[in-house]
């Protein structure tokens, strides 16, 4: 299956300061996610970043903040990005046919986001070496 840059987006889900220490192989997840963000930018693929309750869980880790576009951040209070009205609107405004997902809490936030995006008849690619859980 091919990914088409002109009809896709990269979604970075909840790779946050207070989650990272508890995540299995967090350093590798962050490094792989960072690499994908850099590739996406080179290919002109839009990059969006969700932060689950940043007041409590902190911001996106510094290693990623350094390369993420400032206008792509979305705060959320739901596990799924698609259940949060602001995130849903921002993702849908890009009209992606394909969504590439990296992130933390693969068993909750990444999974629920992927399921709901798939329910919108979009292709979903969860990058296995750029997601993890506790």
pLDDT tens by residue, 3-44: 999 999 999 999 999 999 999 999 999 999 999 999 999 999
Enumerate the β-bridge partners of residue 75: 51
- State the pLDDT at residue 110: 99
CATH of the domain at 65: 3.40.50.850
Q: Which of 9, 76, 81, 84 is catalytic?
A: 76
81 is a catalytic site residue = no
CA pair distance 110, 105, nearest whole angstrom: 6
Q: Which of 9, 81, 87, 109 is catalytic?
A: 109
Which residues, in sequence order, are CB contacts of 114 under 8 Å at separation 6+? 101, 124, 126
How does pLDDT run across 56-84, given as a tens digit for each residue?
A: 999 999 999 999 999 999 999 999 999 99
Assign 84 to helix, strand or coil.
coil
71 is a catalytic site residue = no
Q: Are 41 and 5 in contact (CB under 8 A)?
A: no
CA pair distance 74, 81, nearest whole angstrom: 9
129 is a catalytic site residue = no
- Structural domain boundaries enclosing 80: 5-132
Q: Which of 9, 14, 87, 90 is catalytic?
A: 14
Assign 12 to helix, strand or coil.
strand
CA pair distance 61, 117, nearest whole angstrom: 25
CA pair distance 19, 60, nearest whole angstrom: 9
Domain count, the chain: 1
* pTM over cut 0.95: yes
């Amino acid at each position: 299956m091919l990914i088409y840059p002109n009809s896709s987006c990269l979604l970075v889900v909840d790779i946050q300061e207070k989650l990272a220490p508890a995540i299995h192989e967090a350093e590798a997840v962050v490094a792989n996610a960072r690499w994908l963000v850099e590739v996406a930018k080179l290919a002109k693929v839009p990059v969006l970043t969700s932060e689950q309750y940043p007041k409590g869980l902190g911001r996106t880790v510094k290693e990623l903040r350094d390369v993420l576009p400032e206008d792509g951040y979305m705060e959320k209070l739901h596990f799924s990005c698609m259940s949060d009205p602001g995130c849903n609107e921002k993702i849908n405004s890009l009209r992606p046919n394909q969504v590439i997902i990296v992130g933390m809490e693969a068993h909750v936030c990444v999974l629920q986001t992927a399921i709901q995006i798939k329910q919108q008849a979009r292709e979903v690619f969860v990058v296995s070496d750029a997601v993890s859980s506790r």
